[in-house]
Amino acid sequence: MANFNTHLNTAFMVSGTLSLTVYKAGLVDDSGFLMCVALGTIGGLLPDLDSDNSTPIKLGFNITSFIFAFGLVMHWRSELSLLSLIVLWLAGYCFMRYTVFAVFTNMTVHRGVIHSVPYMAILGLGLTCLSYYVLQLPLTASWFYGLFLFGGALVHLLLDEVYSVNLSNMKMKRSSGTAMKFYQHKDKWWYLLIYTVLAMLLYLTPPFEPFWQQLRDPAPWAQLKVGILPDIVEDMLRERP
């Protein structure tokens, strides 16, 4: 399968190109452009959350542990002494980094249900709902954020499938078919739960039709077409006989 750097660089390039496209079309603003790039890149690392020794899971749990410990200290800062806050900080960090991490890694298997298309769809739709209903972000931005996260994850899964082909003799490796999957019979009960959650999210997601109508509007794409080439190149093309 593809390594960490391949996933990171490919997801960044794909999400960066698509983000620039929708930004130049006027569909997202400056902050939306940066968020789309970041979320697409993060999405390109998400499927490896089920790998016990992967860089994304270690980095993710380190960051989560720091945030969790910081949140505990901020919540109790006015009620506890300095020494108690230090103990709370260390206890909170160690609990997340070692206890929760150990439970998570023992419950997950690499290229299991997490490493699948419907699971990544849940994360993308979940982000869309969170952005729209909780963070009160605009409809267009909320859908773009969820789609870029999901799109980055699809890039990851596709890369793993491509790397499962031995191009030297055009044979399929043993890992073929374990990356971009929608169902595995041995995990049928997990997939039943996943598709149930996915159906609920599809029901709860913000309206898609206005977002789709905005994408189908020819005006933004006409604006993009005008500025697709540098002015000097467009002048040269117009001057050609």
When divided into structural domains, the chain yields a total of 1
Close Cβ partners of 175 (under 8 Å, ≥ 6 residues apart):
1, 111, 160, 163, 164
Residue 70 lies in a domain: no
pTM for the model = 0.71
Residue 99 lies in a domain: no
**In this structure, how many other beta carbons lie within 10 angstroms of the beta carbon of residue 73?**
16
Residue 46 lies in a domain: yes
pLDDT of residue 43: 83
Residue 65 lies in a domain: no
pLDDT of residue 119: 84
Please list the residues that pair with 97 across neighbouring strands: none
pLDDT in tens, the chain (241 residues): 566 677 778 888 998 899 888 888 888 888 888 888 888 888 887 777 655 555 666 666 676 677 678 877 877 888 888 888 889 889 988 887 777 766 655 555 555 677 788 888 988 998 899 889 988 889 999 999 999 999 988 888 888 777 765 444 445 455 455 566 776 777 677 788 888 999 999 998 999 999 999 888 888 777 766 655 554 444 444 555 5
Residue 77 lies in a domain: no
pLDDT of residue 146: 92
- DSSP, residue by residue, 146-190: HHHHHHHHHHHHHHHHHTTEETTTTEE-TTTTSSS-S--GGGHHH
Please list the residues that pair with 165 across neighbouring strands: 172
pLDDT of residue 143: 94
User: Domain limits at 229?
Assistant: 4-52+108-239
How many helices and strands in the chain, by DSSP H and E?
11, 2
Residue 28 lies in a domain: yes
Residue 36 lies in a domain: yes
CA distance 73 to 76: 5
Angle among Cα 31, 123, 68 to the nearest 5 degrees reads 75
Residue (of 83, 119, 115, 146) closest to 2 by Cα position: 115
Torsion of Cα atoms, 100 then 103 then 106 then 111, to 10°:
-50
Residue 80 lies in a domain: no
pLDDT of residue 233: 44
Supply the DSSP symbol for 207.
P
